[in-house]
Copies of this chain bind each other. A is one copy, B any other.
């Protein structure tokens, strides 16, 4: 009987495709943002939706108990089980999810929710009254027209939501997410996004406070604005997620360099179409995700930027196309240069467009240190709702 080739100790022997996490880069990314926010005098409530891993969360949060931001009740549940006690569920609440919010709160988790309508506020107040305990809610503010939230100047709606919450729930504050900053370029534009994000929540908070509501929490956050904010006076916390790993989209915006990207997919060469200049690998979109976030940026990275086994980019080599379990590596359109001499069985690492999406295709991280091929840990990650 042959020995199975799943020795998990090295990048040379791991079954492919699989997810590799460079812990040195991750640690550097965390230290960088923490230092920046310390300098601005504001705390971090990291978004755990990128990592979905208890081990990463422990390195990311200010304390083992939090604070943390999540995007699903599954994340709330799993991180609560791991001891996190201060969680913001940052997706607009639907009434059917309130019983589980209450159940998690009854277990001692300070789980807060987000809403942007009177209907939701009335449902939260009613559920709070029925349970005999107030569910704390943040009003979502729309700082840049990209998704959900109350316009910061819509005083009528803000006051109505505040009044509805006061019938049983608890207004904890206001929050916004500058998702539009993903389309900004250059330090000046990014700083303007950060200023607009801050100003939107501060304006909404003034309206609520003038109407007699406490509004203790002023929460902002996106990875681009978090790194470019220069004045967060009045803001009480910053949420950011993807910065923990960074990715090609963030590099394209200019928030990080390619050398900061901590996540990659290890793949094996399975063939060639030499006359076309193609190298085929066993990482397709199932391993990379279908995310093509760089397609709209100045430099389109295809389905990912190809590096050698040690994580050094080959330059203009990208995953130009992907089927479910096949990836096609080629030189970027228009690039001069030579294809590297990669034989069947050789291994490469591919940097992702979007760390959240690529991570979600995998159930574990293989943790390495920069410059080492030894897998020093395997950290599980979870999905689902």
Q: How far is the CA of A339 from the CA of B363 in the complex (A)?
A: 39
Chain B CB within 10 Å, residue with most, of A117, A271, A324 = A271
Encode A115-138 as 1/0 by CB contact (under 8 A) with B: 111011001000100110000000
Given A270-B92, A291-B290, does the pair A385, B71 have CB atoms closer than 8 Å?
Answer: no
Q: Are A15 and B120 in contact (CB under 8 A)?
A: no
Q: List 6 A-B contacts (CB under 8 A).
A: A2-B131, A4-B99, A5-B99, A92-B270, A92-B280, A96-B268
Taking a contact as CB atoms closer than 8 A, the residue among B5, B91, B99, B328 that contacts A325 in the complex is: B91
Encode A162-191 as 1/0 by CB contact (under 8 A) with B: 000000000000000001000000000000
Q: Are A357 and B91 in contact (CB under 8 A)?
A: no
- Give the nearest-CB partner of A94 in chain B: B268
Q: How far is the CA of A119 from the CA of B384 in the complex (A)?
A: 41
CB distance from A79 to the nearest CB of B (A): 15
Residues of B within 8 A of A270 (CB): 91-94, 120, 148
A interface list, Cβ under 8 A from B:
1-6, 13, 15-18, 49, 71-73, 91-100, 102-103, 106, 115-117, 119-120, 123, 127, 130-131, 142, 145, 147-148, 179, 268-273, 276, 280, 282, 285-287, 289-292, 323-326, 328, 343-345, 354, 356-357, 360-363, 383-385
Copies in the complex: 2
Q: How far is the CA of A5 from the CA of B100 in the complex (A)?
A: 7
Q: Are B5 and A96 in contact (CB under 8 A)?
A: yes
Q: Are B291 and A356 in contact (CB under 8 A)?
A: no
Residues of B within 8 A of A6 (CB): 100
Given A5-B99, A272-B117, A360-B361, does the pair A18, B385 have CB atoms closer than 8 Å?
Answer: yes
